[in-house]
A and B are shown apart, each in its own frame.
Chain A
Amino acid sequence: MEEHKEGSGHEELYLVVRGRARFTLDGEEFDAPASTIVFLPEAGVLRVAIAEEEGTTVLAAGGWPGRPFEPSGWEWAFEAYGRAGQGDFDGALEVLQDWLHERGEDPIALYHVACIECRAGRPEEALPHLRRALELQPVLEERAREDEDLAPLREAL
């Protein structure tokens, strides 16, 4: 599991189903053999897990206390970047269009559209998408300035 905080605000429960993992939570390390449960009620904890054995599998479940669950946007983002990584930029953009179709004008989805369009060598298409993303969620600008995908647009920001 890559290093991250839960930007979604979810509380998260991780279960080591198979193998052995090493969790690091806000810099503190924990050995986690199979059947270990790690529960993080606070979304702001920086967490990462690495496999200590081949075939290690960790199940993750999450949600918002007091709010109905809805699938997180990263599910679309993961698939899109997977396709983009194989050079299938149109396929990646189709996945992100599904995200926009499902959730409306989501600024994170638009941000990723701009990233993929830049990777595909279409910065002129990416710019309006990035501008709209920043308009909807200005806090993304800081991220955009450091995002390598968006380097072709940096001067326009």
Chain B
Amino acid sequence: MSRWRLTRISDIEPRDRWVPIRDHLGVSSFGVNAWLGADQGQAVIGEHSEQPTGHEELYLVLEGHALFTVDGEEVDAPPGTFVFVPDPESRRGAVAKEPGTVVLALGGKPGEAYSVQRWEQGWEYNTPAMEHYRAGRYAEAAAVLRTGLAEHPEFVGLHYNLACFAALAGETDEAFKHLERAIDDSPGIREFARGDADFDPVRDDTRFVELVGAE
């Protein structure tokens, strides 16, 4: 590796909305990425908690204008705004209030050495799958991830996302199979799945309750 690397955020090839700064530069001591909201109203940071990773996260609005929602509370965030979410359990998300919004995200787990998060794996499948997902083409999204898992059955993030897409596509048995696999590998995902609206179609199924517990 060279002794330094210089780049501009716009020079890093985005993977869907995700600008993989950490992966591009080889950062290994903390998580750092940028997220894009090309259009007004588009999600920049998808609603999620950091329960599976245990990360505290710091967000910085670099360009545009974002509206954050943290545990139901809205935070207006023009450029230069920091939003620090120390509790991994907090549900957070951000939408672009202006086209071209860019949010930097940094994270790590207090008291632990950083390790690359497994959600970064399989981006070459997740990127096209997410395009189908956002367009409501759940069966097509699931098909892309089946291909990915045929090549990389160890990518737990693909199992989780396939569980989501299969649940939405009405492929209930397949959804539970992959959700169980994801939870076996990363038990922290259980809590995440409990609050994930993608599982609403199967929420009343006893298998869902058995896997993730009651709300």
Contact = CB atoms under 8 A, between A and B. Distances in A.
B108 A41 contact: no
Given A32-B6, A40-B4, A59 B60 contact: yes
Interface stretch (A7-15, A73-81, A125-133): A7-15
Contacts of B111: 68
By DSSP majority rule, is chain A's interface helix, strand, loop, or mixed? strand
B4 A63 contact: no
B1 A41 contact: yes
5 contacts: A18-B80, A37-B21, A39-B4, A39-B7, A63-B108
B29 A11 contact: yes
Given A13-B25, A61-B106, A45 B3 contact: yes
Contacts of B9: 35, 37
A25 B4 contact: yes
B5 interface: yes
Interface residues of A, number: 31
Interface string A6-45: 0000110101011000010110001011011111111001
A48 to B, nearest CB: 13
A10 B29 contact: yes
A67 interface: yes
Contact of A69 (B27, B30, B104): B30
Contact of B60 (A17, A30, A68, A69): A17
Nearest to A62: B29
B30 A41 contact: no
Interface of B: 1, 3-10, 21, 25-30, 32, 60, 62-63, 80, 102, 104, 106, 108, 110-114
Given A11-B29, A25-B3, A37-B21, A68 B112 contact: yes
A104 interface: no
Given A17-B60, A42-B4, A61-B106, 20 more contacts: A13-B25, A13-B27, A23-B6, A32-B6, A35-B102, A36-B6, A37-B9, A38-B4, A39-B4, A39-B6, A39-B7, A39-B26, A41-B1, A41-B26, A62-B30, A63-B29, A64-B29, A66-B29, A67-B29, A68-B110
A66 B27 CA distance: 11
A66 B112 CA distance: 9
B25 A37 contact: yes
